[in-house]
Structure 1
Amino acid sequence: MAAVTTQEGNSIVRRIADRTAVAGVIGLGYVGLPLAVAVGRAGFRTIGFDVDAEKPPRLARGESYIDAVSGPDLKALVESGRLRATDDFAGLAECDVIVICVPTPLTRYREPDLSFVEASTRTIARHLRDGQLVVLESTTYPGTTREVLKPILEETGLRSGVDFFLGFSPEREDPGNRDFATASIPKIVAGDGPGAAEAMEAFYGAVVDKVVPVSTLDVAEAVKITENVFRAVNIALVNELKMVFERMGIDVWEVIEAAKTKPFGYMPFYPGPGLGGHCIPIDPFYLTWKSREFEISTRFIELAGEINIAMPRYVVGRLEEALDRRLSKSLSSSRILLLGLSYKKNVADVRESPSFKLLEILESRGASIGYHDPHVPVVPPTREHGRYAGMPSVPLTADELSGYDAVLLATDHDDVDYNLIARTSRLIVDTRNIFARLGIRSDRVVKA
């Protein structure tokens, strides 16, 4: 074994500096594909790996399935030879840097599911060699890289910090945010020992504008968990305030707009029909699970989770009440159009979208349901909501709207004709305050 070093002569650092290092990215989804493109743009020959055999041919043709990656940019990288995709993981052997960007979901019991991370790590172990840098980007609980990845890799007989490098750098992608891209978001980095830390700073420093080193792998993992717990807790707070203020006859949206004029000590968060996306609905539960090992109860985080999980049922309750009072109709005898399937506006990302829970509740209550989403023309296959796969988005026309008793707005996409909805719909339940924000006044709108 040729031991790696932490000195200036460190061979991987030299290869990173002169762009002769080959980078591999495992998982070509919302995190992995933008990262692979950013690495390719930085001048590295990059190989993207994915178990989905349909992705490599699409990428080879320059077809992007991620909003954050444009087709022309992808095509240019592919044609230059700086980026290729494959489902053959034997190519990991030629990579100097390997970054894992695979899902970290929850089990049905809301416990961490690291099966994708573990499977990827075992695949890497079969091709591990001296001098490689292995990085985890998937969000997880503090201790994962050290307690899960490291032992699997060291089963090969190679040692972290001696024969190969091990690091963690949490992804910070924000789908639909045009103000920030992978390369412009500051990157937290940490390594297992000084050699790994040096290699991590060298690699990510070559790819992104700003690198933020922290002292340990566990600290880096805790940073991402902290960011997402912060959002989850504050969203739960405004969701609870929404329910309280509604009973008091107070518009929580007006309260927030006024409160955010304070130039210090306040940051606006907004209520909604529930949490969506891969991070905020999931990551806090990774920390609550890990905290049990230390006999600590995370009551604050768990309460926030309970509030956010309960929001779809609250919204359906408001819809049911509005149908009864405004139209003298029961929910079970009503046709409901769900407006928006993706978890946030202007993206096609349906991961953990609360819209699926709304569909399930409405369906279980006997309502006839349809949905419209300009970004999701057909419901894609999902692990938890497979029975909706293939369901088409209905056209948003006056004739179509007239056939529904109510429109339940879950996602406030920009490219929707809200004036048409206000003119045509019998009842609108708005969970995003979009009609008030657009100045569209209608006595058919109920906030929820």
Structure 2
Amino acid sequence: MEAYKLLSEDLRMKLGKQLINKTATLGVIGLGYVGLPLAVEKAKAGYRVYGFDIQQKRVDMVNQGVNYIGDVLENELRDLVRAGMITATTDYSFIRDLDVISICVPTPLDSYQQPDITYVKASAEAVATYLHPGMLVVLESTTYPGTTEEIVLPILENTGLRCGVDFYLAYSPERVDPGNRVYNTKNTPKVVGGVTKACTEVAATLYEQVLEGKVHQVSSPAVAEMEKILENTFRNINIALVNEMAILCNRMGIDIWEVIDAASTKPYGFMPFYPGPGLGGHCIPVDPWYLTWKAREFNYHTRLIEVAGEINNSMPEFVVERIGDILNQFSKPIKGSTVLLLGIAYKKDIDDYRESPIIKIMEKLRQKGAEVVFSDPKIPQFFYKNKEYSGIDLTKENLRTADIVVLTTDHSDYDYNLIGKYAEVLFDTRNAMQDIEHKNHYFRL
């Protein structure tokens, strides 16, 4: 037993040295919004990195140095690929040559609003096939508390290797905020929780070599998994609160934006959140439901989380209702009216339309007989339910001919003066036009 313990310590020290002197070879499974930026940062830090993905198109683009993620600079990716620091592949057998593998795969909800961890399981099984002594495995996909130890750990230990002795397993939640110009993968603090203390220390050593942000160690993967859910649930609930306030203020004839500005003058005890047409993206509208599902195992009903989800999910319907009310003021029905939506992306300055509430608004308007067109400088076309939709140019004529222009995404690229001048009826769901002097008939959420 003592000899086995010494062997385990030798493995840990060897991997630690490899991480510090950058001789370790790293891998990232999943080259999406989380995985590709992480792979790039690891390569920039001096590590040889392999990226794995089941989509051949993504693999080909990476190997050609072609970027498809907003938070990655194409010239950096291209230079790293040319230097041999990043290689993408669909062949998971290369895992056998790695010292570290990070799992950054999607964790969507199924049709019953339950976590679908199919990709996590498949990735863990792929890693288990090639797991070897001295290897570090880190799960980064957002998921419910318990996933690392209840799902990933048994799969890896079925190989006969022991966690914390022969290999190391940790959870470190991704913190990616698409479009954020201040915080990115490199400088955002990182939380790490390992199955054992040794697992935590090895994983922390990795991130300390790669990132500028502080690495915060916690006592277990479950703590790290729960803190990630707390982050996004906090935003979900506070956005739901301000969305509900926006609905009530509209009925009471009170300007919600002026209310928020006034409340923000308080230097303590208040943090401003802003209403909008609904939540989008893979995180905030989805992650809290992981916890809701897991809570049932402990005979607990997460009432506040579920109500917040219902409020946020209802915002596209509220926006459509407001559009109808505004058109009615000009003796126009929704049916037959041309509605120009400015923005398909779920937030400003990104090209991501996953779970975008604007698509739901578009669907609801079309169901009511509206002629819906859109213009988005970041998304000239998109696919939804096996159909392609193409946008139109933001021109004087297109603004003039629309019965109502709805500002749904406040991209910095928009010419707001042009919009204000030529949109006869404008409904601003983001308060982006408040400071534009020339506006015709102007309405805010």
TM above 0.5, yes or no, is yes
Distance in 2 separating the partners of 1:225 and 1:9: 30
Q: In the alignment, which of 144, 148, 152 is matched to residue 147 of structure 2? A: 144
Residue 61 of structure 1 and its aligned partner are, at CA, apart by 2.2
- Equivalenced residue count is 441
The answer to whether the Cα contact below 8 Å between 2:22 and 2:47 also exists between their aligned partners in 1 is: yes
2:258 corresponds, among 230, 254, 258, to 254
Q: How many Å separate the matches in 1 of 2:358 and 2:53? A: 28
Aligned match of 1:231 = 235
What are the superposed Cα offsets for residues 240-294 of structure 1, whole Å, 9 maximum, x if unpaired?
A: 0111111111111111112112111111100000001111000000001100100
After TM superposition, give the deviation of residue 401 of structure 1 in Å.
2.2
CA distance in 1 between partners of 2:20 and 2:259 (Å)? 52
Confirm whether residue 323 of structure 1 aligns to residue 327 of structure 2.
yes
Question: Measured at CA, do residues 2 and 416 of structure 1 come closer, stay the same or move farther in structure 2, by a change above 3 Å?
Answer: farther
Q: 2:53 aligns with which of 50, 53, 63?
A: 50
Asked if the contact 2:424–2:440 (Cα under 8 Å) also holds between the matched residues in 1, the reply is: no
Deviation at 1:103, TM superposition (A): 0.9
SS in 2 for 1:391: strand
Alignment counterpart, residue 186 of structure 2, candidates 176, 183, 195: 183
Partner amino acid for 1:267?
A: M
Q: Secondary structure at the match of 1:111?
A: coil
Partner of 2:282: 278
| Deviation (angstroms), 1:212 | 0.4
The Cα offsets for residues 21-72 of structure 1, whole Å up to 9 and x where unpaired, read as 1100011111111100110111110111111101222222221111111111
The one-character-per-residue Cα deviations of 1:289-309 (angstroms, maximum 9, x if unpaired) are 100100011111111001000
SS in 2 for 1:182: coil
Which 5+ residue runs of structure 1 have no aligned equivalent? none
1:125 aligns with 2:128: yes
Distance in 2 between residues matched to 1:366 and 1:156, nearest whole Å: 58
1:89 Cα deviation after fit: 1.3
Normalising by structure 1, report the TM-score.
0.95
TM-score, normalised by the number of residues in structure 2 = 0.96
- Corresponding residue number in structure 2 for 1:400: 398
Aligned residue for 2:443? 446
Q: How far off is 1:181 after superposition?
A: 1.9
Aligned to 2:301: 297
Q: Give the deviation of 1:211 after TM superposition.
A: 0.4
Distance 2:254 2:229 in 1: 33
- Larger deviation: 168-177 or 87-96? 87-96
- SS of 1:435's partner is coil
Match of 2:109 among 106, 109, 122: 106
Q: SS of the residue aligned with 2:123?
A: helix
Question: How far 1:8 sits from its partner (Å)?
Answer: 9.0
Correspondence for 1:433 among 402, 422, 431: 431
1:229 Cα deviation from its structure 2 partner: 0.4
Please state whether the residue corresponding to 2:36 is helix, strand or coil.
helix
Q: Alpha carbons of 1:125 and 1:440: their partners in 2 closer, same or farther (altered >3 Å)? A: farther
Consecutive unaligned residues of structure 2, counting only runs of 5 or more, are: none
Q: Distance in 1 between matches of 2:443 and 2:24?
A: 57
Which residue of 367, 371, 374 maps to 2:370?
A: 367
What is the identity, as a one-letter code, of the residue corresponding to 1:157?
Answer: G
Identity of aligned residues (%): 48
CA contact (8 A) 2:421 2:440 kept: no
Question: CA separation in 2, counterparts of 1:387 and 1:367?
Answer: 21
